[in-house]
Amino acid sequence: MDIHAALDWRYAVREFSPEQLNTQAVETLLDAVRKSASSYGLQPYKVIMIESAAVRRDLLPHAFGQQKVVDCSHLIVFATDTRIGDQTVDRYVNQCMKVREIPYQDIAGYAGHMKQALASKSRTEKREWAHQQAYIGLGTLLTTAAVLEIDSCPMTGIDSRAFDQVLGLAHHELETSAIVALGRRSAGDRSAGLPKVRFDYDDFVIRI
């Protein structure tokens, strides 16, 4: 599907059909998120695939009863690193040395620059920065899902702290950013047929 047709086709699905997505298609989608851009490439977040039906039921009340948490084919949580600092950079540097087959001295200067950039942020700014990177990933996921004709519904109006607790995220030094339900739209979802509400182009783009 052409990218604009895909974006027009996409909407926040209210009601999913019971159809299960092909697992391979979902993995391909998550791999697209893995490839998405992030500040310095540091990608300080993970995607969590909630496979356990019991855990999904435990999460339901913390998503204010949005039934799709249980009913969708696949439920994904974007979870952001709570510890941002030198180790965020070291993790990237190690991967860079591995992928590019370079010695540490080739990246030492850049590593120092990244560490300094992170160290200059306040704790709040670091947290904000990390969540923003996850939101780039969310944008990548929703766009890619549309191109692959996978239906989705992002949900941010959830009790994130309760999600953290149910999922034991503190143990992973992570916290919930947003969740996304994936699947196939139900034929009975009347919101699929409604015109998409977007601001007019001239009201969205400013020229300077």
CA distances from 186 to 44, 135, 191 (A): 34, 27, 10
Sequence-separated (6 or more) residues with CB below 8 Å from residue 54: none
Q: State the nearest-atom distance from the C-beta of 208 to a second copy, in Å.
A: 5
Give the integer Cα–Cα distance in Å for 42 and 132.
Answer: 12
Q: State the nearest-atom distance from the C-beta of 188 to a second copy, in Å.
A: 19
Q: State the nearest-atom distance from the C-beta of 139 to a second copy, in Å.
A: 2
Element at 77 (helix H, strand E): strand 74-81
Which CB sits closer to a second copy, 12 or 18? 12
Task: Provide the CB-side half-sphere exposure for 46 (13 A, CA).
Answer: 11
Residue with tokens 């339901």: 60
**How many other C-beta atoms can be found within 10 angstroms of the C-beta atom of residue 1?**
13
Which CB sits closer to a second copy, 58 or 71? 58
Q: State the nearest-atom distance from the C-beta of 136 to a second copy, in Å.
A: 4
CA distances from 197 to 8, 28, 159 (A): 11, 29, 26
Which CB sits closer to a second copy, 187 or 206? 206
Which CB sits closer to a second copy, 33 or 63? 33
Give the integer Cα–Cα distance in Å for 169 and 187.
Answer: 35
Q: State the nearest-atom distance from the C-beta of 28 to a second copy, in Å.
A: 7
Which CB sits closer to a second copy, 70 or 117? 117
DSSP, collapsed to helix, strand or coil, labels residue 35 as: coil
Task: Provide the CB-side half-sphere exposure for 127 (13 A, CA).
Answer: 9
Which CB sits closer to a second copy, 3 or 170? 3
Q: State the nearest-atom distance from the C-beta of 187 to a second copy, in Å.
A: 21
